[in-house]
Amino acid sequence: MRVRVVVVALFVVAIGLAGSYSVTRPKPLEREPLVPTVPPRTVMARLMTVQPTATLFVSATPTGELRVPTLLPSTVVAPRSTGQISVTSTVSATPTPSPTPAASPAASSIDLSVQATSIPARSITAPLTSVQPRPSAIPTAAPVAARAATSWTVPSSDRARIGVGAGQQGIDGFDWGDTPPGWYLNWSHTVRPGAWPQVPYVRMVHPSGNKLLPDLDTLKRTAAANPGTLWLIGNEPDIEWQDNATPEQYAHTYGIFHAAIKKADPTARVAIGGVSQPTPLRLAYLDRALAAYKAQYGTDMPVDVWNIHAFILREERNSWGVGIPPGMNVDKGTLREIENHADMTIFKQQIVDFRRWMAERGQRDKPLIVSEYSILMPEDYGFSPDVVSKFMKESFDYLLTAQDAALGYAADGNRLVQAFCWFSTADSVYPTSNLFDPATRAITPVGKAFKEYMARLK
């Protein structure tokens, strides 16, 4: 009996000692920081094993059926098209109209409280917390004095059609030599005066939750001081970590910005904000925005210049790529793989598909610009400077020459695209396609390829 008591006592003491000491445990694996659109390196091995032999589409939208053909084979779209390109892309979605406010937007209005009527949308008051917006934050500086060559028309030369995205400093401080870009933007409404006043500057405004960037007084002063400017209303409203708006919210904001710009400068040209890529899901987003504008303002959305981005990225909720547009109640769209990111066949078809979308909505007689595209994936994902330079030159060739007698802009020889913009001059978040190093401003291999290409153009 005494032995049994001793054993029990020792057992109790052992338990007490164990509880008084901390046990060394392995540290949990730290989650790799997520850069917007780019899959973490920790999952790249799995992603790269997926064969991109087919492109998968969803067949539903929040308000109607989305019927989409699969990607056409590469033989359908020629690298240098001079005749009609036989590509079909049909998007049939029934947008849900928003409540109808006054017939015309008031330039002084700042009420941005409109919400999607039947679709549970995420709030647009705060971006995703784990990502940084592309590019840098929008400044609120006062407008600069009028610059030379601010009036925007369809460029008359090939060199003038090629633009670049730049930081707040614009294109100054980089060694362009005698091959500067034909135009540029910096995702803002103002830029510091610099050494290239002859290069047209395209301005941009942004909705930000319930705020307007810039405020309407600043916007009107800037527009009046820079007559004839091309204005882009928003940047990727279809992406949560960019301008992040449901179609109904974007339509409402567009009306406010458009009225303010046109009142201050009737000669201004106004372009819609570029969606990240013209996939069927994003085209359905635009259809809803057009319907919402008509419901809210009683007239068709006034667009002087159509505008898209032309990235090739995955559409899937909580995944890499560009996610699902705000207000669209689906979990998957076009499921692209990493290997598709520089696929010229997909790139060409996206352009054709958007021009067809324009024609089907009576917008063929409007210019089309591609205000942002390039390679965003890191070099160690398979996108070396040689790969990026090859994609850049092939895409430039296509965008400068692609024509279509049934879809193109007749006033520009039926070209599909009137101007386009490479991303970026020197970006620190997505550096793969940089023309210059953002820290040293030294020219990159891609920058050398850009200058060589521009030198051959008139």
Residue 23 lies in a domain: no
Residue 62 lies in a domain: yes
> Domain limits at 247?
41-85+148-455
Residue 8 lies in a domain: no
Q: What is the pLDDT of residue 194?
A: 84
| 10-residue averages of pLDDT along the chain (458 residues) | 42 41 34 56 49 33 30 28 32 36 42 35 30 35 38 90 93 95 96 87 86 93 95 97 95 97 97 98 98 98 98 97 97 97 98 98 98 97 98 98 98 98 96 97 98 95
* CB-based contact 261:223 (threshold 8 Å): yes
Number of domains composing the chain: 1
Residue in 37, 43, 209, 36 with CA at minimum distance from that of residue 131: 36
Q: What is the pLDDT of residue 36?
A: 58
Residue 333 lies in a domain: yes
Q: What is the pLDDT of residue 242?
A: 95
**Residue 66: CATH number of its domain:** 3.20.20.80
Q: What is the pLDDT of residue 38?
A: 76
* CB-based contact 325:238 (threshold 8 Å): yes
Strand positions, DSSP E, 226-357 = 230-235, 269-274, 306-309
Cα 359 from chain centroid (whole Å): 22
* CB-based contact 372:274 (threshold 8 Å): yes
Residue 265 lies in a domain: yes
Residue 10 lies in a domain: no
| Distant-in-sequence, close-in-space partners of 128: CB < 8 Å, separation ≥ 6 | 36, 240, 241
Residue 19 lies in a domain: no
Give the integer Cα–Cα distance in Å for 384 and 367. Answer: 33
Residue 341 lies in a domain: yes
What CA dihedral angle connects 272, 275, 277 and 283, to 10 degrees? -80
Radius of gyration of the chain (CA): 25
Sign of the CA dihedral 380, 445, 313, 184? positive
* CB-based contact 228:266 (threshold 8 Å): no
19, 182, 208 from 233: Cα distances, Å: 63, 21, 12
